[in-house]
Every structure is written in structure tokens, then in C-alpha cells.
A and B are shown apart, each in its own frame.
Chain A
Amino acid sequence: MPKNTSKKNNRRSLFQWHRQIGLAVSLLVIILSITGIFLNHTEKFELDSQYIKSKFLLDWYDIKKPTIKSFPVEKNWISHLGDKVYFNDVLVAKEISIVTGAVSVEEFIAVATQTDVILLTPTGEKIEQLDATTGVPANITAIGINHFKQLTLKAQSNIYVANNDVTEWKQSNDTNIIWATTAKLTPAIENSLNKLYIGKGLSKERVLLDIHSGRILGKAGPLLMDLSAVLLLVLSFTGCWMYAKRTWAIYKRDKLLAAASIGESYSAADLKRGEEGVILTVIGDEKLKQRLASMGVLAGTIIATPTSSVFNDPRTYIIRGYQLCMRTTEASMILLQTDTQTIPRLQKYSHDGCSTDENETSTIDKTQS
């Protein structure tokens, strides 16, 4: 009996695994399917030429809507967007976190960040990016020009003045300094900067591809998708296995039902004294089926006959440890699995009617002898 119960439990746990894995990956499968369909038809949907405007997605990709900080230098503009510095609409420096100002000094333009000074020609060509290695003071808060038209920096509330070539910096007590201030950018340059920065930054195709592959979640995203793919494989295997088992069981039952219809069935009524069988199904009218089911006569249950009666009608059967008295007409409705018909599993029963744990083969040997 324990063998059969564990078989049933295995089947149940396989189904539970199937169901729970299915639940766990369902969301990912939905995402994969929908994005997959769209990606198969990117040209039709023109996804490669449409761009994302959602603030959340742009932030996720670190493409922020630019808050432009601009400084006028002569007739040109120095603008800071995100981590980039532009001369009008030409990119001059990247990976700049904060721009503290920009001024025009005779032959060049100087742009100050917190740590660096970027020198540009009047036409916006980069001359040099100066940093602490060339003596630029740290924590620059402002840039300006003094009354000698020299480049001046304010750092940690000290004033530093550069020589004419901007190769050296000296501390100074100068107070007559014009500091760089921000100003409102002209709409033409602002528009072109917005377009440059955000307009064609992120296509819908790119986002869909990243969702499909999982890369939208960073480095672990593809792993997540890989895992869901593996789980999907597991799902298809468990699904096929369960389907095959169920189909086989239905085939067996149908075969037996067909045999029952021509009187070749093997039912509980055919059990001899001391034999037992495993219930396959209960046939007959619904009322009888329900009544027997409520008493535990269910598929997979072991049924045994410990006794015999005068005309074998009615007879006592043992199901689930209790005794059930049935007429032969009712017992013949309980069909048993045929594989037990050829080699009956014999067991001795104690006086209280419960089966004892005796070795199967040894009992067979005893009956043979």
C-alpha cells in the first residue's frame, strides 16, 4: 500500500511543481511573448524610428530631460547638460558633473567645473583640460576675470589668478573681479541641444529589445530571462509527462470499460478469498458511484476480501482499514486494475481485518507451496 500512496503523491507533487513554476514564470512569459511579437514586426510598426518620451524610461536609461545651464561668452554660449559641455551646439567635453562658469579671456574661452578648467579656442576647439596635476585648485565655485583681464578662480573662498598662458595659478587678494553668471539660452540653440540630447536618444525598438532580453534590468536581467527560459523548458517536460500519463490511464480505463461491457472485466466480485486488488474505476449509475466514493471506494485504493460467505453474496471487503459489506452486483461495478489480475498480491489479514506488513514475495511462495 505505501508504494501506491507514494506513487500518487509523486503525481500530485509533479502537478504542484508544474503549477507553481507556471505561476512563477507566467509574467515573464507574457512579457517575452508580447515583446517577441512586436520585435518580429519592427519594420511594420516602425519601432526603430519612434522615440521614447516617457520620463521614467529616459531616467531608467539615464537620459535625463536636460536642465540646461548656460553661460554667455562673447557671442557664443557654453551650456551644460547632464554630463556634457557644449560650445553652442557642439560637444566639447564629456563626463562633467557640475559646471561652475565660463568666461572669455582674450584668445580663449575658459570653462570651470568643480575640479577642472577646460580651455577652448574662440571657435570652440578644445585646447586643454586642466586639473589638479597642473595646479588647478580643488572645489572651484566660480570663474571670472579680474581688471587685468586675467583668468580668476574662486575655490574654497580663496581667489586664484592664472598667468597669461594659464600654466600657473597664484593666490591673490584681488576683489575687483567680474564673475561668470548664467543666462537664458537663445531658443534656437536650446532647441537644437534638446534634439541632440534627447530627441533621438532612445528608440522603442531598443527598449523592446532590452525588455525581451532582460537587459533593461541591468546585468542580472539576461540571467533572469535565461532562468525563465529554463523553467519554461521544465514546464513543457512536466506538461508532456503528465499528459502522457493521463492519456495512458484513460486508454487503460477505456479498454477495461470496453471489456466490462462484454463481461470480461475484472472486478471486486472476482476476488477470491485472501486476494486484493487496486481499484481502477467505479462504473454504473451516478448514485451508486457517489455512495461508494463517499465510503472511500476511489481509484487507486486497495480492496481486499479476507472472508468468504456461503454464496459469496453478500461479501465483506476491506477498504482503507474498515470492513464494507456489498452485494455481488455492487462489487462487480468496482473495476480493478488488470495488471494485478495476473499476479495477485496476496496478504494475510489479522483478526481485526487490517493487513499485516508481510513480504510480498514470501506470501506468494507460501500460497504456491
Chain B
Amino acid sequence: MNIKKITFPTKIFLFLLFSLVSSISIAEGTYQEPVDFVKESFSPSTPPKSSVLWITNKLKPSIYKIMRHKLNALRIRYWKKDGQTVWVLNEIGKEHPITVGLVIKNKKIQRIKVLIFRESRGAEVRHPFFINQFKQVTITPDNKLEKHIDSISGATLSVTALKKLARLALYFDKVINE
């Protein structure tokens, strides 16, 4: 085809069409499968069998205070070995759930990792500069994080979701160790 024969409006249209196709980008992604996270958290030894924490009526008010909504589950799975507990929890950032893996030892967060991110924006929360703020953080008696976590502009909802999950995991850890 002779390019010179293409009229100017057609060229503009083709340019716009090209820019339309090329500008579609998605932030979502699976960074680690939850199974692999659990295995890795206990390596080199094998992970223990999962245990179950039932969300009783006694726990519900505290969970509501942390999450600001009812938990959409009646029991939560966790893995416990040598005083270390591992949790895989979900919380919606804006529209889709963010799956986060947490390792807690001595009532402090040892490790936290975004495993699956399904939102269209805010995936910056997975980066070490943000996530490392949670390391060695514990909760106060009223289940709040004892340390201030700096937010990321443009990813506020994802940051809030991660803070909630950190508090929730620390609270659950406190409950099962009581």
C-alpha cells in the first residue's frame, strides 16, 4: 500500500487508534502464590498443618473496630510452628481484594508481602520502601499499630487495606496465644 495515498484524516484516525491500543496498562498481578508463601515462611522445615480460628461473637466487635466492616468469613486459617504464625488474609482496597501474607513472631510482624494485587492502581504498596515499615511492628492493647505508617499518595486505599490486615493478623495472633 502506498503510504502517500493515505489521506490526512485517515492518518490522524490511525494515530488515535494506535495510541488507544498502546495505552492500556494494568497494575494487577500475582507476585507469589499463597501456598509458596506459606512454604517459604517455614523453610527449610516443612510447614505445619493449617489450624482454624473461629470468628466467635466475642471477637466480632474488635474485628469490626479494626476492619470497619463485618468480616466475610466465620473462620480463618493459619499455620503455627515454633511460636511463629503465618496468615494469608484478604481485604478490598477499592474494588478488588488484595491478598497479603503475614508472618508473626513474638507479637511482632516478621514479614509481610503482597501476594496477589487485583486493583487497577496502587500496586506500589508491594515495594520494599513501603512494606518494610511494617517490620517488627506490634499492636497496642486497643489493637492499633504502635508505629505510624507513612502513606503513599495515589495508593491510599491500598495502604489502608494493608494497615488493616496488619492489625488484624496481629490481633488474631494475640487471640490464639491468649
Contacts and interface: CB of A to CB of B under 8 A. Distances in A.
A126 B71 CA distance: 9
B57 interface: no
A174 interface: no
13 contacts: A20-B8, A23-B9, A95-B118, A121-B74, A125-B74, A127-B73, A127-B75, A128-B73, A128-B75, A167-B52, A218-B24, A224-B16, A224-B20
Contact of B24 (A126, A128, A220): A220
Interface of B: 7-9, 12-13, 16, 19-21, 23-25, 33-35, 38, 49-50, 52, 72-77, 88, 96-97, 118
A224 B88 CA distance: 42
Contact of B20 (A20, A95, A130, A217): A217
Nearest to A218: B24
Interface of A: 20, 23-24, 95, 121, 125-135, 165, 167-168, 217-221, 223-224, 227
Interface majority SS (helix, strand, loop, mixed), chain A:
mixed
Contacts of A20: 7-9
Given A128-B76, A220-B23, A223-B19, A133 B50 contact: yes
Contacts of B118: 95
A126 B8 contact: no
Contacts of A131: 34
Nearest to B90: A129
B30 to A, nearest CB: 12
Nearest to B75: A128
B159 to A, nearest CB: 22
Contact of B73 (A23, A129, A165, A218): A129
A132 B8 contact: no
Contact of B38 (A23, A133, A223, A227): A133
B127 to A, nearest CB: 23
Contacts of A167: 49-50, 52
A128 B20 contact: no
Contacts of B88: 133
B20 A218 contact: yes
Contacts of B7: 20
B75 A219 contact: no
Q: Which 3 A-B pairs have the closest CB atoms?
A: A220-B20, A24-B12, A24-B9
A20 B12 CA distance: 10
Nearest to B97: A95
A295 to B, nearest CB: 34
B34 A132 contact: yes
Given A133-B88, A134-B77, A135-B50, 11 more contacts: A23-B8, A121-B74, A128-B76, A132-B33, A133-B34, A133-B38, A134-B50, A218-B24, A220-B19, A224-B19, A227-B16
A135 B50 CA distance: 9
Contact of A165 (B12, B38, B52, B97): B52
A95 B96 contact: yes
A73 to B, nearest CB: 17
B23 A219 contact: yes
B52 A24 contact: no
B120 to A, nearest CB: 9
A133 B76 CA distance: 12
B74 A127 contact: yes
A253 to B, nearest CB: 32
Nearest to B51: A167
A126 B35 CA distance: 22
Contacts of A130: 77
Contacts of A223: 19, 23
Contacts of B21: 220
